[in-house]
């Protein structure tokens, strides 16, 4: 009976196309599916950053500098709320510290009114997914010491809400990898395709050039190019400059993948038939050969995104990439260069955990796609 069931499964999978088999195998990869879900959530949060974040990226309350995280609580009397933080100054050391004010309750609510913003820079709004319900905030006479603020992950040295800035920073850190991948895709496909299709001296020159590029230490090269960018450049120009730097050094791996695949496919019967009926070289390459290993290209691109994200983070962390007032995860980590600051305010390293989760998710997703890209190798 089990042999009959296995034969039926083999017959059913044999009737599926390559892409259907890839989807079937990917659906059975639990870790890859979970990683895809995490990435979808992260990109949705980045897309609607203005709504999700309790405050705008530039909002600050300097009086609440280095305020510790305020974790929400639920009670029957107050519902969802946080306790206000009361600022104190040590009279001897003049060190600022915070203590919870148990009598000062800050009620939280969903889709409450808050700091006005423009969604995607176009639609004026003032609703935030989660924030303090100002209509229910009790009025306190000690307004100088207790502020109606909500720092879910704490505040930085300027009183910025770290949680809000992490959400806004995701928009830059997550998209810079995708933009760089688009450039990498075209460079890798075109250069690798030409190398594998024509062969000979063209292939030799391209491969030797790739070896020269790969021999250059990438991090020092990124630092050198990042340092050469003028400090007075606008944020958008710096963003695209870093994207070009990352993609200019990251296309070589994809080019070699494309070259190897085209070398193995260019003598196939369907490619020879296309050339015999008069198809141009470009049509044979991009219409007949490249689609045959498109799944492998997707895998290679997916696995290269983490490198792009880490590259931008490293440049911005060292002050050679994006700079304030632009917000990215690398820019946020600039405050952690001083180990004494990290020891006193450990919540400032929170962006590191987001970077780790993102990189691992892309790696697990790439592994799942790589396993699914060869559906004929294993159908169980």
| pLDDT at residue 186 in the model | 86
**pLDDT tens-digit profile of 217-253?**
877 777 777 777 777 787 777 778 877 877 777 788 8
CA distance readout (Å), 142 to 86, 89, 191: 10, 15, 67
| pLDDT at residue 157 in the model | 86
State phi, psi for 146 to the nearest 5 degrees.
-115, 125
Q: At what angle do helices 18-27 and 350-372 cross, to 10 degrees?
A: 130
**pLDDT tens-digit profile of 179-222?**
888 888 888 888 888 888 888 898 889 989 888 888 888 777 77
CB of 96 closer than 8 Å to CB of 66:
yes
* d(C-alpha 292, C-alpha 303), whole Å: 20
| pLDDT at residue 356 in the model | 92
Q: How far is CA 325 from the centre of its chain?
A: 19
Ordered per-residue pLDDT tens for the chain, 380 residues: 445 444 445 445 555 666 677 777 777 878 888 999 999 999 999 999 999 998 888 888 888 888 888 888 888 877 888 888 888 777 777 777 788 877 788 888 888 888 888 888 888 888 888 888 877 776 554 444 445 678 888 888 888 899 999 999 998 888 887 888 888 888 888 888 888 888 889 888 998 988 888 888 877 777 777 777 777 787 777 778 877 877 777 788 888 888 888 887 777 777 778 777 877 777 777 777 777 777 777 777 787 888 888 888 887 887 777 777 888 898 888 888 888 888 888 889 999 999 999 999 988 888 887 777 665 444 44
Structure tokens, 254: 């994809």
* d(C-alpha 199, C-alpha 194), whole Å: 8
CB of 318 closer than 8 Å to CB of 163:
no
Domain ranges of the chain: 54-160, 164-372
CB of 105 closer than 8 Å to CB of 96:
no
| pLDDT at residue 212 in the model | 87
* d(C-alpha 378, C-alpha 380), whole Å: 6
| pLDDT at residue 98 in the model | 82
| pLDDT at residue 138 in the model | 64
Select from 262, 61, 60, 238 the least CA-distant residue to 165: 60
Q: What dihedral angle (degrees, nearest 10) is formed by the CA atoms of 66, 72, 78, 80?
A: 130
| pLDDT at residue 165 in the model | 92
Global pTM value: 0.80
| pLDDT at residue 144 in the model | 41
Structure tokens, 42: 């992260």
| pLDDT at residue 265 in the model | 77
State phi, psi for 105 to the nearest 5 degrees.
-100, 130
| pLDDT at residue 229 in the model | 76
Q: How many residues does the chain have?
A: 380
| pLDDT at residue 17 in the model | 64
Helices (H), the chain: 2-14, 18-27, 30-47, 49-52, 162-198, 200-215, 218-228, 235-250, 252-265, 269-276, 281-283, 294-317, 329-332, 339-344, 350-372
CA-based max dimension of the chain:
89
Fold that domain 164-372 belongs to in CATH: MetI-like fold (1.10.3720)
Q: How far is CA 367 from the centre of its chain?
A: 17
CB of 45 closer than 8 Å to CB of 167:
yes
Sheet containing 73-75: which strands, arranged edge to edge? 73-75, 79-89, 96-119, 123-132
CB of 46 closer than 8 Å to CB of 174:
yes
Upstream peptide bond of 325 is cis (omega within 30 degrees of 0)? yes
* d(C-alpha 262, C-alpha 293), whole Å: 9
């Amino acid at each position: 009976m089990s042999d009959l069931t296995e034969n039926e499964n083999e017959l059913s999978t044999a009737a599926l196309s390559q892409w259907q088999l890839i989807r079937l195998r990917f659906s059975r990869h639990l870790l890859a599916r979970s990683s895809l879900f995490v990435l979808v959530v992260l990109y949705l949060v980045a897309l609607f950053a203005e709504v999700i974040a309790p405050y705008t990226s530039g909002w600050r309350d300097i009086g609440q500098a280095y305020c510790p995280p305020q974790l929400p609580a639920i009670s029957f009397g107050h519902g969802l709320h946080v306790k206000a933080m009361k600022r104190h100054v040590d009279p001897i050391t003049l060190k600022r510290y915070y203590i919870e004010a148990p009598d000062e309750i800050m009620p939280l609510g969903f889709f409450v009114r808050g700091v006005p913003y423009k969604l995607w820079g176009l639609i004026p709004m003032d609703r935030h997914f989660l924030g303090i319900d100002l209509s229910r905030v009790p009025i306190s006479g000690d307004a100088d010491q207790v502020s109606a603020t909500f720092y879910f992950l704490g505040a930085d040295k300027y009183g910025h809400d770290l949680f809000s800035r992490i959400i806004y920073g995701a928009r830059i850190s997550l998209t810079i990898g995708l933009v760089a991948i688009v450039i990498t895709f075209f460079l890798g496909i075109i250069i690798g395709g030409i190398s594998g299709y024509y062969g000979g001296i063209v292939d030799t020159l391209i491969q030797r050039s790739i070896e020269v590029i790969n021999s250059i230490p990438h991090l020092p090269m990124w630092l050198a190019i990042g340092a050469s960018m003028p400090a007075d450049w606008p944020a958008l120009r710096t963003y695209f400059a870093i994207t070009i730097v990352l993609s200019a050094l990251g296309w070589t791996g994809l080019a070699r993948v494309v070259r190897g695949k085209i070398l193995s496919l260019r003598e196939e019967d369907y490619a020879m038939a296309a050339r015999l009926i008069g198809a141009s070289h470009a049509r044979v390459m991009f219409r007949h050969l490249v689609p045959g290993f498109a799944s492998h290209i997707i895998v290679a691109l997916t696995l290269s995104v983490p490198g792009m994200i880490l590259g931008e983070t490293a440049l911005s962390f060292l002050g050679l990439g994006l700079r304030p007032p632009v917000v990215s995860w690398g820019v946020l980590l600039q405050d952690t260069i001083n180990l004494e600051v990290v020891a006193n305010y450990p919540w400032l390293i929170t962006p590191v955990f987001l970077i780790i989760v993102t990189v691992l998710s892309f790696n697990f997703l790439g592994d799942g796609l790589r396993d699914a890209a060869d559906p004929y190798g294993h159908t169980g």
